[in-house]
């Protein structure tokens, strides 16, 4: 076979494999045919198949595991959020083929911290329900969350067992909101954050602070610390939009 023919076959094999991946026929984690199976299907040498699989691995589309075969790569559990949307993290993570887990670190009803305007507002002269938790993807920390809930607006939250249900997901399903405000900043993880996220101190992180209201009543105030590689904030607009 000529050099041009071999190159054409390489391209065809790659095109077919990429097509199966991009169409979803081969989902994340799917084991693609073994090298000897591809050799029979395309009537080519192991060198040709190996070259195609190497290119796909270099492109990040497949993962090659010694003695186990090649598998469609699971994309990073990266959240791309439209600026005015509130993402449901468990759904976002699971949709990218990862195993989502939620770990509740602390839950208590308390008075708002003195000098904290957000806590005082959420408390409405009473108490707040304060929760600290971790969002996990494939057993690894994905985001650290500190959330305050207004018990006046969501009294059911006081009795809710959040040990397996993310409070943000519960709120989206059970408590309506009419207005939201986002604040985005970048930080280096401090010692406490780094320990919980299992990263080095000063690892780049993106902080999302969000408050929601129902009418004039505050519903929740949350601070989420994402590893820098895990989050994008996207604004979509058109000419003349306001």
Domain containing residue 42: CATH number: 1.10.10.10
- pLDDT for res 3: 42
Query: Quick one: which of 89, 58, 72, 80 has its CA closest to 167?
Result: 89
In total, how many domains does the chain have? 2
Query: Quick one: which of 111, 107, 94, 122 has its CA closest to 161?
Result: 107
Whether 4 has a pLDDT exceeding 80, the answer reads no
Q: Tens digit of pLDDT for each residue in 109-155?
A: 999 999 999 999 999 999 999 999 999 999 999 999 999 999 999 99
Identify whether residues 145 and 214 lie together within a single domain.
yes
Identify whether residues 179 and 212 lie together within a single domain.
yes
- pLDDT for res 43: 93
Show the domain range for 52: 3-72
Tell me the CATH number at 139.
3.40.1410.10
**Rounded Cα distance, 232 and 222, in Å:** 18
Cβ neighbors of 2 (< 8 A, separation 6 or more) are: none
Q: Tens digit of pLDDT for each residue in 23-54?
A: 778 888 899 999 999 999 999 999 999 999 99
pTM of the model: 0.68
Residue 239 maps to a domain: no
**Rounded Cα distance, 152 and 126, in Å:** 9
Query: Quick one: which of 224, 208, 225, 220 has its CA closest to 119?
Result: 220
Residue 209 maps to a domain: yes
Choose one of 52, 72, 92: the last residue of a domain: 72
Identify whether residues 181 and 68 lie together within a single domain.
no
Residue 158 maps to a domain: yes
Residue 242 maps to a domain: no
């Amino acid at each position: 076979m000529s050099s041009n023919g071999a190159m054409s076959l390489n391209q065809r094999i790659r095109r077919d494999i990429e097509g199966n991946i991009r169409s979803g026929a081969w989902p994340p984690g799917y084991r693609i045919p073994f090298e000897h199976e591809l050799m029979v299907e395309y009537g080519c040498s192991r060198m040709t198949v190996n070259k195609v699989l190497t290119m796909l691995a270099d492109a990040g589309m497949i993962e090659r595991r010694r003695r186990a075969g090649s598998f469609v790569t699971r994309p990073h559990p990266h959240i791309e959020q439209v600026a005015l949307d509130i993402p449901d993290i468990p759904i976002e993570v699971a949709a990218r083929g990862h195993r989502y887990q939620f770990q509740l670190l602390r839950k208590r009803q308390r008075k708002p911290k003195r000098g904290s305007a957000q806590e005082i507002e959420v408390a409405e002269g009473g108490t707040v329900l304060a929760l600290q938790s971790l969002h996990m993807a494939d057993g690894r920390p994905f985001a650290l969350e500190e959330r305050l809930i207004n018990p006046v607006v969501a009294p059911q939250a006081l009795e809710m067992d959040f040990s397996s249900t993310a409070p943000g997901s519960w709120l989206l399903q059970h408590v309506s909101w009419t207005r939201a405000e986002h604040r985005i900043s970048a930080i280096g993880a401090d010692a406490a954050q780094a320990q919980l996220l299992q990263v080095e101190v000063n690892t780049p992180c993106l902080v999302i602070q969000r408050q929601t209201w129902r009418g004039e009543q505050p519903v929740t105030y949350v601070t989420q610390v994402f590893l820098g590689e895990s989050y994008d904030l996207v604004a979509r607009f058109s000419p003349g939009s306001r």
